[in-house]
Chains A and B, each alone.
Chain A
Amino acid sequence: MIDDIRVGSLIAYCSVKRGNKKTLMFIVFVLSLIFMNLVFLPSMIGGMMVLFTGMMQDYPYGDIVIEPMDDNTYINNADSVLQKVRAVEGVRAATKRLDAGASIEHKQKVVGASITGLLPTEELEISQYPYIISEGDFLGELSRDEIIIGAMIAGTGFGSEIYDNLGEVRPGSLVDVTYSNGVKRTYKVKGIMEGSFELVDLNALVNYKEIEDVYGLEGSKATSVVVRVDKQGTEGQIKDKIREAGVNEQIFTWADKSETLIKQAMQSMGAIDTMSKFVSLIVGAALVLIIIYINVLNRKKEIGILKAVGITPRSIVLSYAFLSTFYVSLGILSGLILYFSLMFYFQANPVVFYETMEISPQIDPVLLIESIVTMLTLSVIAGILPAWSVSKESILKAIWGR
């Protein structure tokens, strides 16, 4: 076997050293495109996943979100929960929120919306809400009778034409809000927020105290407590610590939420991703096989000669396995250079999605390793199969090229 490997590698080495360099470059170029095909789209989809999960962290859920136990509408004594949470090591900030359903009316136009009551100064460390005000200002700690309206329902942002909107609501406009309990309030629009995300731009924000008043809540009730952590990736541990600190409500990390909410939204994307990978793999396998098979056919006479002079079929098959592994390795290397060039380009110039969302492709080392292993496995199979089939033919037929 060692002799077979030595002879196989000598044949492969000579073939590369003195073979046609233009053909080699063409094969490597095609293989690099096959590799790109395997990794590029999943990287873009990965970028979308990161964008969406980032938005979930930046707006509704933070890094960790605490919600009421199953049958309860509210977390009772949210201040006590906040106190426990803030005492946990690794927690950067936490705040409470009150969500309510309502309809908003402006000049006889009515839209349904979710209104979040929040503590404006605490949100500076928790969410991006204070930083996405496209017109007007964010709420202040003492803001009352004021509202922040999402751009889509205000009728000013991208997507307004898709959804019902209030028609050109501006800062200073007055809107009537009817809450789910029938209480009606008139608010002055303080600002328009534009987060390029439906969960944000179809919502409205008021001061926490407004919701408390409207629903007559006492004892610091909350529909959620949103937590941010110091270090990304520690959410799981901190979730456990919060539990250990005596918080008995439901605790979710953003990843838990992704599994339920985002995962549903991304399922169709995931299906496209899987199909794309599968098709890329089939196309890649076929192309690698075709390239190596043509290569083997062109060398059929050589294989016959080698057999005729006493070189074992195993050495010949191994030489093609080495050769195709070399081609594919160069293809992967070129593909990686091409891939990283494109990644850096698209990270500097993100793809604009929905006119406002910027998607930067994600470099996923696991995906790269998977693709490299897949390509190398394919190369071995693609090298072995045609060479094995030709090496089994009669010597004379191989020499005659039949």
Chain B
Amino acid sequence: MIIVKNLKRYYGTGKTAVRALKGVSFEIKKGEFVAIMGASGSGKTTLLRILALLDDATDGEYTIRGLEVSSLPEAERSYYRLTQVGYVFQDYALINEMSAAENVYILSMMEGKSRKESYATALEALDKVGLKDKHNRIPDELSGGEKQRVAIARAIAKKPDILFADEPCANLDTTNSKQVLDVFKELNEKYGQTIVMVTHELWHTEYVDRVITLEDGNLVSDEIKRNREE
């Protein structure tokens, strides 16, 4: 589903250039739940942002379902972000002036669905993360874990091909982290959702199928934790 070949990302030029990714290659199959791990500064967040089309690679190829997406013009990237890719930010990134449901259904409206249809989609997504009864709450009225679940609902409401999550539990305690990871696991197992999650917590790998480890901008290991076909 995702093919990454020799992906590089440099910040700056010449001798002072920072090489965040030095040529990373891997493939991710449909329905896989993959964790990208590594120490701080290893390039894992940079890689995720490029995969989610939030940043550009300096060099290399990146295709989703055979489509070379890294060279798409901004308008098409925007459409791709809206329809094919879900992204969960570390700090939730919810719009504070919108309720949980509005944060979710705005994307369905952007896709051209009616307000009623969008609202139903949002409630369905919030139901999946266990927050249907709190659809009218604004982010300030929700706990950290609940905010992150709303962010997940926003990401999955449009039923994206791939869900990217950038350290989704970084700001959460263990209980809330488990809740979020359980949601991911259920999405992956029940709905076959492809998930790529950046994390630095070792215990999170218990939930995933595969762990890709980066070190200093290089891919140093690609370990299968659980074979889905077994």
A308–B94 Cα distance when bound, in Å, is 11
Are A306 and B95 in touch, CB under 8 angstroms? yes
A306–B82 Cα distance when bound, in Å, is 10
A17–B102 Cα distance when bound, in Å, is 12
Are B54 and A308 in touch, CB under 8 angstroms? yes
- Residues 221-256 of A at the B interface (beta carbon under 8 Å): none
Are B106 and A302 in touch, CB under 8 angstroms? no
Among A6-14, A97-105, A117-125, A171-179, the stretch that binds chain B is A6-14
A18–B96 Cα distance when bound, in Å, is 8
Specify the chain B residue showing the minimal Cβ separation from A301.
Answer: B93
Q: Which of A3, A17, A19, A395 contacts B110 (CB 8 A)?
A: A3
User: Which B residues are CB-close (under 8 A) to A307?
Assistant: 78
Q: Which of A10, A306, A313, A396 contacts B49 (CB 8 A)?
A: A396
Are B78 and A11 in touch, CB under 8 angstroms? no
Rounded to whole Å, the gap between the CB of B196 and the closest CB of chain A is: 16
Are A302 and B95 in touch, CB under 8 angstroms? yes
User: Which B residues are CB-close (under 8 A) to A399?
Assistant: 93
A10–B81 Cα distance when bound, in Å, is 20
User: Which B residues are CB-close (under 8 A) to A11?
Assistant: 95, 106
A311/B110 contact (C-beta < 8 A), A396-B49, A396-B55 known: yes
Specify the chain A residue showing the minimal Cβ separation from B86.
Answer: A309
B138 within 8 A of A: yes
A315 within 8 A of B: yes
A308–B49 Cα distance when bound, in Å, is 10
B181 within 8 A of A: no
Are A18 and B109 in touch, CB under 8 angstroms? no
Specify the chain B residue showing the minimal Cβ separation from A399.
Answer: B93
User: Which A residues are CB-close (under 8 A) to B107?
Assistant: 309-311
Are A10 and B54 in touch, CB under 8 angstroms? no
Specify the chain B residue showing the minimal Cβ separation from A304.
Answer: B93
- Residues 140-168 of B at the A interface (beta carbon under 8 Å): 154-155, 158
Rounded to whole Å, the gap between the CB of A391 and the closest CB of chain B is: 10
Specify the chain A residue showing the minimal Cβ separation from B102.
Answer: A14
User: Which A residues are CB-close (under 8 A) to B106?
Assistant: 7, 10-11, 311
Are B87 and A395 in touch, CB under 8 angstroms? no
Are B102 and A312 in touch, CB under 8 angstroms? no
Q: Which of B49, B79, B95, B111 contacts A305 (CB 8 A)?
A: B95
Q: Which of A3, A17, A309 contacts B81 (CB 8 A)?
A: A309
- Residues 35-68 of B at the A interface (beta carbon under 8 Å): 49, 52, 54-55
Are A18 and B110 in touch, CB under 8 angstroms? no
Are B109 and A3 in touch, CB under 8 angstroms? yes
B83 within 8 A of A: yes
Rounded to whole Å, the gap between the CB of A223 and the closest CB of chain B is: 74
The proximity string for B residues 73-92 relative to A, scoring 1 for CB distances below 8 Å and 0 otherwise, is: 00100110111010101000
A15 within 8 A of B: yes
B12 within 8 A of A: no
Specify the chain B residue showing the minimal Cβ separation from A308.
Answer: B54
Are A309 and B82 in touch, CB under 8 angstroms? yes
Specify the chain B residue showing the minimal Cβ separation from A312.
Answer: B78
Specify the chain B residue showing the minimal Cβ separation from A392.
Answer: B74
User: Which B residues are CB-close (under 8 A) to A394?
Assistant: 55
User: Which A residues are CB-close (under 8 A) to B83?
Assistant: 310
Rounded to whole Å, the gap between the CB of A249 and the closest CB of chain B is: 73
User: Which A residues are CB-close (under 8 A) to B87?
Assistant: 308-309
User: Which B residues are CB-close (under 8 A) to A309?
Assistant: 81-82, 87, 93, 107, 154-155
Rounded to whole Å, the gap between the CB of A402 and the closest CB of chain B is: 13
A6–B113 Cα distance when bound, in Å, is 10
A309–B89 Cα distance when bound, in Å, is 10
B98 within 8 A of A: yes
A306–B95 Cα distance when bound, in Å, is 8
Are A308 and B93 in touch, CB under 8 angstroms? yes
- Residues 254-313 of A at the B interface (beta carbon under 8 Å): 302, 305-313
A305–B106 Cα distance when bound, in Å, is 12
User: Which B residues are CB-close (under 8 A) to A7?
Assistant: 106, 109-110
A305–B107 Cα distance when bound, in Å, is 12
Specify the chain A residue showing the minimal Cβ separation from B115.
Answer: A6
A323–B190 Cα distance when bound, in Å, is 42
Are B95 and A310 in touch, CB under 8 angstroms? no
Specify the chain B residue showing the minimal Cβ separation from A315.
Answer: B110
Rounded to whole Å, the gap between the CB of B21 and the closest CB of chain A is: 15
A17–B97 Cα distance when bound, in Å, is 8
User: Which B residues are CB-close (under 8 A) to A395?
Assistant: 54-55
A307–B158 Cα distance when bound, in Å, is 15
Cross-chain pairs A/B with CB under 8 angstroms, 16 sampled: A6-B109, A14-B97, A14-B102, A17-B97, A18-B97, A306-B95, A309-B82, A309-B93, A310-B85, A310-B158, A312-B75, A312-B78, A312-B82, A394-B55, A395-B54, A396-B54
Query: A19-B97, A308-B52 given. 5 additional CB < 8 A pairs?
Result: A6-B109, A10-B106, A309-B82, A309-B93, A310-B110
10 closest A-B pairs by CB: A310-B82, A18-B97, A310-B81, A305-B93, A14-B97, A14-B98, A395-B54, A7-B110, A3-B112, A15-B97
